[in-house]
Amino acid sequence: MAEIFTIALIYSTIRLSTPLILAALGGLFSERSGVINIALEGMMLAGAFTAAAVTYATGSPYVGLVAGMMAGMLIAAIHAVACIRYQADQVVTGTAINILMLGMPAFLSGAFFLSSGSTPQIPKEHLIPWIPIVIAFLMVPLSWYVLYKTPFGLRLRSVGENPEAADAAGVHVARMRYAGVLLSGVLAGIGGAYLSIGQSSLFTRNMTSGRGFIALAALIFGKWRPVQTVLACLLFGFTEAVSIQMQGVVKLPSGDDIPVQFIQMVPYVLTIVVLAGFIGSSRPPRALGIPYQKER
């Protein structure tokens, strides 16, 4: 057992948690403003693809990172306009974006790079393995501060809890929600960019493989609060790190491998259990998912 709990495991936990933390904090801003965001997955894919493509084209990962952020924000803008301006069902819109972003990067890379679904390899010196990690961990106190200690955060939370009252108090409900959703796109975009130009060195088809949903799970597991959410991300990153390290190392008493699938299941089971109220209650923002229509 001892050989897997090493410095390498800690490092690997941090690496694997980084995209989750970024996306989950993004989801936090969106959902605390009252807009359900299951499109995190699609926003991450947009960020990952754009960052890799732009880094490859310009040779600068910094330009790539900014482009990834912008791409995430652009997708978030679609989600925001559909949900806020046109009052579309937020879950359905999110699903549409996820399907769209499964196809779009592959469609574009097929056209620009003549490959089916992946970008060309980026040289090692053009990768940024540390910057997104630093951003992610800086975002933790920053998100907490913004959400709880600034007027912006107070307004954001108020439109997610009670938009009528916020509106009566003079808060522009739609504007706050746009801000929340766009912020989620920026952060999820960075999270995606980290996958393609930080952890890996190219974009591959569906490379997020469900991380947007795990981030969402962490958000719920963390009861829509920044610090708890980040702890949940670290926990989920840790289970993934353990499952990678354990492969072929740790055996059951019978001599068989421990099936990796069971470790993969941990975040999902925990989320269901928490949501059912077995470990304290996890209460979503009160106006989550309800479009706000100003009374005339």
Partner 1 sequence: MKLLRELLFPLIAVVAAFIVGGILILIIGDNPIETYRLLFGSALSWPVGIGYTLFYATPLIFTGLAVMVAFRCGLLNIGAEGQLYVAAFATAWVGITFANLSPWLLIPMCFVAAVLGGGVWGAIPGILKARFGSHEVINTIMLNFLAVALVSYFIQYHYKAPGDPIMQSVAIGWGAHIARLGKFIPGLPQFIPLNLAFILALVCAGLVYIFLWRTKWGYELRATGTNPSAAEYGGISVRKQIIIAMTISGALAGMVGINEVLGHRYRYYDGFSDNYGFTGIAVALLGRNHPVGVIISALLFAVLQRGGIPVDAFTQHVTKDIVQVLQGTIILFVAAEAFFRGPFARWGLMKRSKV
Among 80, 197, 220, 242, binds partner 1 (CB under 8 A): 220
Asked whether position 141 contacts partner 1 by CB under 8 A, the answer is no
The set of residues, in sequence order, having a beta carbon less than 8 Å from that of 116 and lying 6+ positions away, is 106, 109, 110, 205
Distance from first CA to last CA of the chain, Å, rounded? 65
Among 101, 127, 136, 230, binds partner 1 (CB under 8 A): 101
Could you give phi then psi for residue 129, rounded to 5 degrees? -75, -20
Query: How many residues are there in the chain?
Result: 296
What is the Cα 91 distance to its own chain's centre? 16
Among 1, 3, 116, 252, binds partner 1 (CB under 8 A): 116
Q: Which amino acid is at 132?
A: P
- Which residues, numbered 51-80, are part of the site for partner 1 (CB under 8 A)? 78
Asked whether position 286 contacts partner 1 by CB under 8 A, the answer is no
Task: Please identify, among the stretches 51-59, 105-113, 141-149, 192-200, the one whose residues bind partner 1 according to the rule CB under 8 A.
Answer: 105-113
Q: Is 34 left (phi over 0), alpha (psi -120 to 50) or beta?
A: left
Angle at Cα 268 formed by Cα 288 and Cα 180, nearest 5°?
30
Asked whether position 253 contacts partner 1 by CB under 8 A, the answer is no
Nearer to partner 1, 2 or 114 (CB): 114
DSSP state of 205: T
Asked whether position 277 contacts partner 1 by CB under 8 A, the answer is yes
Give a three-class secondary structure readout of 12-64. HHHHHHHHHHHHHHHHHHHHHCCCCCCCHHHHHHHHHHHHHHHHHHHCCHHHH
Asked whether position 103 contacts partner 1 by CB under 8 A, the answer is yes
Nearer to partner 1, 198 or 222 (CB): 222
Among 20, 45, 80, 217, binds partner 1 (CB under 8 A): 217
Among 130, 148, 259, 279, binds partner 1 (CB under 8 A): 259
- Which residues, numbered 167-206, are part of the site for partner 1 (CB under 8 A)? none
Beta bridge partners of 257: 251
Q: Where on the chain is the footprint of partner 1 (CB under 8 A)?
A: 36, 38, 78, 81-82, 86-89, 91-93, 95-104, 106-108, 110-112, 116-117, 210, 213, 216-217, 220, 259, 261-262, 264-265, 268-269, 271-272, 275-277, 284
